[in-house]
Chain A
Amino acid sequence: MTESNLLPSGKPRIESLEMRGITKRFPGVLASDHVDFDVKSGEVHALLGENGAGKSTLMKILYGLYHPDEGQILLNGKPVTISSPNDSINLGISMIHQHFMLVPTLTVAENVALGLPSSRGALTDLDRVSNRILELAKIYGLKIDPDVYVWQLSVGQQQRVEIIKALYRGAALLILDEPTAVLTPQEVDELFVIMRQMTRDGHALIFISHKLHEVVEISNRITVLRDGRKIGTRPTSETTKQDLANWMVGREVGFATDRGKTDLGEVRLQLDGVQCGSDRGTPGLRGVSLEVRSGEILGIAGVSGNGQRELAETITGLRKITGGRVRLEGQNVTNFPPGELTARMLSYIPEERMRDGVIREFTVAENMILREHHKQPYSHNGLLNLRGIASHADTLIKEFRVKTPSRDTLAKNLSGGNIQKVVLAREISREPRVILAAQPTRGLDIGATEYVRGQLLEQRRKGAAIVLISEDLDEILALSDKIAVLYEGQVMDIVPRENATPQMLGLLMAGVHPEEGAVAVK
């Protein structure tokens, strides 16, 4: 083998990998339908598709976590069997999962060393592992401390640990399943720098993302999946974002959202110098004052960890307020329990929908009546009315285009985007007076994103007061009537949409007042 066939890790390249005719069935779903897919050394091959199209499924098959019902995998032209992650790791394949696979109570070095043979036999060799991590970190310009515990790291840092894990194992092919969904734009840029270096070195990369501009920026080829089937593969240079969107969804997709005009009504939600504590290190809230009127969307912009979570939790009654006041429709509801706020028609679309939005082991239909289960027509005299629940579920599934085999499917078996639709359907269908939406389109495909945004605007038209927390500036600018920027637990400024520009918001998010050019005093 010549020098040029080796990766910097000393492991051989994967010149080509080919999946042929891959088919996978789950109860009620054909998740993968005779799909062909291939990737070569030195390229980024992007995989696109709506929520539930079968992207993660295809990749889990390649990594040995799922077993295909039909199909074949060829490595450098030779058929291989991959029946467990052990097999794929031995072949030089690594995967960064949509939900990270790290052990929070172990250090970075321990996470990297896990499952690998040690140079000291039965004893661990964490000092050597740490040194090698630092070497790799230097080659790829990653900042990382091998000795800290993973639970202490931010999401972006955790992702670096995942990448180091793969590099350390000498991965020649790396699968990245929605690696950017939880990253800030800066962190995405850093990731792309690493990815480019990896392809220059001869790695083969598979990249999944719902953000078309990312796909266009980083990939060499793009494959689109729809409903488990492959629609086609094209070189990135021959496509545009608009083409891709239409191709994925199978119809024209509009990027521009028309906000229209609404009449502002009375103040529905008012925060007055609200203060609260925080979990770890983040500042909590330090005197936040805001108000939202009927028919108005208030966007909350800011870099993650500047009090967004605490704001959502104080408004919904999940976190104790230590100072200040919250009013709902003019009445003081400070530190009211969540149930009381729900009864006053406050709806909440939480950020961590898998954890806070649905009960994973409940069916779609049950999840859809979580808030109203004690009311007619879902129950009567303490007994559930199954027929009422079923017809309600069927209506919402149709109306919100939830992709699910049936209303009795468990929530945990839906794809990420469809879980979000279940939450949204439940929260919006009750005609709320105030809606708090936290990252409502994170991880959603463009079709679903368009739909969710449309729904929020529809609720605004119907007179709901909406607080939209989002780290996506495009989203904030597309939907909001006015924008508040959170920085270190305080509101830097509140600007009307007409006066806001991305540059100005970016400065405010960094704690700088544009006109003064001065850093905010803490």
Chain B
Amino acid sequence: MISELFTTTVLIGILASGIRLATPYLYAAIGEAFGQKSGVLNLGVEGQMLLGCFAAFYVALTTGNLWLGLLAAMIVGALMGLAMAFVTVNLHAQQGISGIGFYLFGLGMSDLLFQKLLGTVETVKGFPKIYFPGLSDIPGIGEIFFSQNILVYGAYLLVPLAWFVLNKTTLGLKIRAVGENPDAADSLGVSVARVRYFTIVLGGTLSGIAGASLSIALLNVFQQNMTSGLGFIAVALVYFGAWKPVGVLAGALLFSMVNSLQLWIQVLGIPVPSDIAVMMPYILTILVLVATVSRVRAPSALTKPFERED
């Protein structure tokens, strides 16, 4: 039975879905990385994703326009980010606690809206695979890399983009400074509040897209609590990736590949208890986190509210 895993078709299948499954992690974790780089830990990612997930699905279903659905998810995510920014920046709330609050809000609200507005599980036709003439037809490679939908490609483009913004722009310099020594940034006239508002709202927007990628690009349904912890994994991936976009990419891929593997194990009916199979990616996360986290230092001001003494 195990040998079934090693046929070419299955291997290609595992790789293709692994690439695809990394999408929501990438959007959410890159967004979270911006927040953490500026010193804000947002544990509400999961809630932002759930609401984005629902908004995208509902708007796409009712208007028939996927792009409007995506836009709705972005707006909902951005608004959630705005609320989080207000609570952390202006009210100096304890970030871990307020994040959990936003998670619970997103969880409950998406469920409520689902009950009121939909009632049953429905499906939409999600973003289609893109066909690249020539490339998509290459055996293996074509299926793995050149027959994914637009949101998948967007997620991978985000990685170099995020790196560029963080390392090559004045905005990125401000973000890094604010996360390490907000007093120093403040003393040079950099608005700590404005920088953090920006990163948190950006993070919310990207979490919204992450949610949308589930409901209108990958799974094309909406169910209660359908992110099932994915947003929390995204937070862990930021630590795993040592606050670097490339590191986040590596983490997301590792995680989604293992996930894809366990899905295929179940599909093929290989006799591994399904609970164990499902746990594989999570166990892996814990192990890798334990191995990596002690090595790299988090931004010094992470989770610390900033306030001038006066």
- Cβ of B170 and Cβ of A101 under 8 Å apart? no
- Judge whether B111 is part of the interface by a CB distance below 8 angstroms: no
Q: Write the B167-208 contact mask toward A (1 if CB under 8 angstroms, else 0).
A: 011111110110011011111111000000000000000000
Closest chain A CB from B76 CB (angstroms): 27
Q: Write the A56-70 contact mask toward B (1 if CB under 8 angstroms, else 0).
A: 000010010111000
- Cβ of A114 and Cβ of B310 under 8 Å apart? no
User: Which A87-120 residues have C-beta < 8 A from chain B?
Assistant: 89, 95, 97, 101-106, 110-111, 113-118
- Judge whether A1 is part of the interface by a CB distance below 8 angstroms: no
- Judge whether B295 is part of the interface by a CB distance below 8 angstroms: no
Closest chain B CB from A468 CB (angstroms): 33
Residues in chain A near residue B181, CB distance under 8 A: 101-104
By DSSP majority rule, is chain B's interface helix, strand, loop, or mixed? Answer: helix
- Judge whether A518 is part of the interface by a CB distance below 8 angstroms: no
- Cβ of A65 and Cβ of B177 under 8 Å apart? no
- Cβ of A110 and Cβ of B173 under 8 Å apart? yes
A122–B185 Cα gap in the complex (Å)?
18
Closest chain A CB from B38 CB (angstroms): 12
- Cβ of B180 and Cβ of A115 under 8 Å apart? no
- What's the interface size class on B, roughly? 20 to 34
A110–B174 Cα gap in the complex (Å)?
10
By DSSP majority rule, is chain A's interface helix, strand, loop, or mixed? Answer: loop
- Cβ of B188 and Cβ of A114 under 8 Å apart? yes
- Cβ of A122 and Cβ of B170 under 8 Å apart? yes
Given A84-B189, A102-B184, A115 contacting B174 (CB threshold 8 A): yes
A105–B297 Cα gap in the complex (Å)?
10
- Cβ of B184 and Cβ of A124 under 8 Å apart? no
Given A67-B310, A110-B173, A114-B177, A103 contacting B168 (CB threshold 8 A): no
- Judge whether A85 is part of the interface by a CB distance below 8 angstroms: yes
Partner of A114, one of B168, B190, B308: B190
Q: Which residue of A lies closest to B187 (CB)?
A: A101
A-B interface pairs (CB < 8 A), number? 74
Residues in chain A near residue B189, CB distance under 8 A: 84-86, 89, 115
- Cβ of A101 and Cβ of B173 under 8 Å apart? no
Given A85-B186, A85-B189, A86-B189, A113 contacting B173 (CB threshold 8 A): yes
Given A102-B181, A105-B180, A106-B176, A118 contacting B187 (CB threshold 8 A): no
A102–B177 Cα gap in the complex (Å)?
9
Residues in chain A near residue B300, CB distance under 8 A: 105
- Cβ of B180 and Cβ of A123 under 8 Å apart? no
A89–B310 Cα gap in the complex (Å)?
19
A105–B177 Cα gap in the complex (Å)?
8
Partner of B170, one of A103, A105, A113: A113
Residues in chain B near residue A113, CB distance under 8 A: 170, 173
Partner of A123, one of B169, B308, B309, B310: B169
Residues in chain A near residue B310, CB distance under 8 A: 60, 65-67
Closest chain B CB from A415 CB (angstroms): 13
- Cβ of A103 and Cβ of B180 under 8 Å apart? yes
- Cβ of A103 and Cβ of B187 under 8 Å apart? no
A118–B174 Cα gap in the complex (Å)?
12
Closest chain B CB from A417 CB (angstroms): 18
- Cβ of A114 and Cβ of B171 under 8 Å apart? no
Residues in chain A near residue B187, CB distance under 8 A: 63, 65, 85, 95, 97, 101
Residues in chain B near residue A89, CB distance under 8 A: 188-189
Residues in chain B near residue A60, CB distance under 8 A: 310
Q: Write the A111-139 contact mask toward B (1 if CB under 8 angstroms, else 0).
A: 10111111000111000000000000000
Closest chain B CB from A317 CB (angstroms): 24
Partner of A106, one of B168, B171, B180: B180
Q: Which residue of A lies closest to B188 (CB)?
A: A115
- Cβ of B176 and Cβ of A103 under 8 Å apart? yes
Residues in chain A near residue B185, CB distance under 8 A: 103, 114-115
Residues in chain A near residue B184, CB distance under 8 A: 101-103, 111, 114
- Cβ of B171 and Cβ of A122 under 8 Å apart? yes
Closest chain A CB from B224 CB (angstroms): 42
Closest chain B CB from A81 CB (angstroms): 15
A522–B196 Cα gap in the complex (Å)?
51
Closest chain B CB from A143 CB (angstroms): 22
Q: Write the B136-175 contact mask toward A (1 if CB under 8 angstroms, else 0).
A: 0000000000000000000000000000000011111110
Residues in chain A near residue B176, CB distance under 8 A: 103, 105-106
Closest chain B CB from A133 CB (angstroms): 15
Q: Which residue of B lies closest to A95 (CB)?
A: B187
User: Which A14-58 residues have C-beta < 8 A from chain B?
Assistant: none
A122–B308 Cα gap in the complex (Å)?
27
Q: Which residue of A lies closest to B297 (CB)?
A: A105
Q: Which of A60, A86, A103, A118 has the most CB of B within 10 A?
A: A103
Partner of A65, one of B169, B170, B174, B308: B308
Closest chain A CB from B199 CB (angstroms): 16
- Cβ of A123 and Cβ of B170 under 8 Å apart? yes
Closest chain B CB from A118 CB (angstroms): 5
- Cβ of A104 and Cβ of B180 under 8 Å apart? yes
Closest chain B CB from A125 CB (angstroms): 9
A101–B176 Cα gap in the complex (Å)?
14
Partner of B177, one of A95, A106, A117, A123: A106
A124–B172 Cα gap in the complex (Å)?
9
- Cβ of B183 and Cβ of A101 under 8 Å apart? yes
Closest chain B CB from A98 CB (angstroms): 12
Closest chain A CB from B160 CB (angstroms): 15
Closest chain A CB from B247 CB (angstroms): 16
Residues in chain A near residue B174, CB distance under 8 A: 114-115
- Cβ of B173 and Cβ of A114 under 8 Å apart? yes
Residues in chain B near residue A102, CB distance under 8 A: 181, 184
Given A65-B310, A95-B187, A106-B180, A122 contacting B169 (CB threshold 8 A): yes
Residues in chain A near residue B186, CB distance under 8 A: 85
- Cβ of A118 and Cβ of B177 under 8 Å apart? no
Given A66-B310, A89-B188, A114-B190, A124 contacting B169 (CB threshold 8 A): yes
Residues in chain B near residue A116, CB distance under 8 A: 170, 188
A462–B184 Cα gap in the complex (Å)?
46
Q: Which residue of B lies closest to A165 (CB)?
A: B188
A84–B186 Cα gap in the complex (Å)?
9
Closest chain B CB from A496 CB (angstroms): 46
Residues in chain B near residue A85, CB distance under 8 A: 186-189
Residues in chain B near residue A110, CB distance under 8 A: 173, 177
Q: Top 7 A-B pairs ranked by shortest CB distance?
A: A86-B189, A115-B188, A101-B184, A115-B190, A66-B310, A101-B187, A103-B181
What 5 additional pairs, Cβ within 8 angstroms, besides A65-B309, A114-B190?
A60-B310, A63-B187, A65-B187, A104-B181, A123-B169
24 contacts between A and B (CB under 8 A): A63-B187, A85-B186, A86-B189, A89-B188, A89-B189, A97-B187, A101-B181, A101-B184, A101-B188, A103-B177, A103-B184, A105-B176, A105-B300, A110-B177, A111-B184, A114-B185, A115-B188, A116-B170, A122-B169, A123-B168, A123-B170, A124-B170, A124-B173, A165-B188
